[in-house]
Amino acid sequence: MPFNVMITDRFDVEAEAKLRSSAGLVVTRSAQPLPTSEELANVEALVIRSRTKIDSALLSKAPNLKAIVTATSGFDHLDLNETSKRGLKVMYTPEANAASAAEFTWALVLATVRKIPQAHRAVKTGDWKREALMGRQLSGLTYGVIGLGRIGTRVARIAHAFGMSVVAFDPYKEESYFARENCTRMSLDEVFKNADVVSCHVPGTEETHHMIRRLALAEAGHDIVFVNTSRGSVIEEHILVEALEKGWFVAAGLDVFEREPLARTSHLVGRDNVVMSPHVGATTHEAFRAASLEAATKIVEFARTGAVTDPLPPDEPWMAASFAKSSD
């Protein structure tokens, strides 16, 4: 019997060829990231990206669906309670974009602390008054990592290479892990009190939603460069704006926002001390290809043997706590 697979979004050409050449697989593409009832009628497996929102409305259109693979490391576009109720197998590609996301974090760090966008604009306008472009040397400063997982660990290692000391918050990592990575374990509030640069590397879950509190920033007591390449939901936008206005954050590098796309009327727009990008931290040819090929492999193996790798929800303590909370 053929196994019907549908791709709903952008997908690497080589990865798609791998799917189409696999015996027993019938591969189709939806016209849009959100497939219609007609398109989904016979589909047994979906290959998606973040523009395909998996919820009860979509799942009700796919009566034969057995598996979903998202070619992303994030998964807040999937209602995992709903997929669990329906007994669906759900997988993701957590390793594919880790290097790209970590590298982009550092692109934002350097852009903010050395005022690179402002320097670029100055040269284009013929302005060589360099006093306003005075930046900071990273060597000797303290870097704070929120979430010492795949990406956060890479970011911490790069910080060490810059000659920075590293403090980190991650309640789910063992002491031995902190010791191995030469990171000082701290609470979330302590990270803001001790670090000169802070970056976020956590998934979008119930537990991380608005995890950065106004009081922690107000009590930090020194200028902080804040970088977020994880999820905009970790901090409320009005608190982020207040932190920039009051100097709790001397600068910010933001690839993610509480609401995306960011409204043109947002108070973050037009600030000279904010460097922004449209959620492109993992947007490299290499990460896209790796995620697509990994997703294709997962589909092929599932069709052949029923094997499930990198399941969602992840079999991790942090996810178990959040998943239980969202199920209440």
The catalytic residue among 39, 49, 279, 294 is 279
Residue 33 CB-density burial (10 A; 0-12 exposed, 13-18 middle, 19+ buried):
middle
279 is catalytic: yes
From 206, 219, 260, 286, active-site residue: 260
Convert 127-158 into a string of H (helix), E (strand) and C (coil): CCCHHHHCCCCCCCCEEEEECCCHHHHHHHHH
Q: Between 150-161 and 98-113, two packed helices, what is the crossing angle to 10 degrees? A: 50
Active site residue 260: yes
- From residue 214, give the alpha-carbon distance in Å to each of 28, 217, 236: 48, 5, 9
- Spatial neighbors of 245 by CB under 8 A, at least 6 apart, are none
Strand partners, 198: 144, 226
Active site residue 95: no
- Residues in CB range of 65: below 8 A, 6 or more apart: 40, 43, 44, 45, 46, 59, 86, 88
Q: Which of 103, 231, 258, 294 is catalytic?
A: 231
Catalytic positions: 231, 260, 279
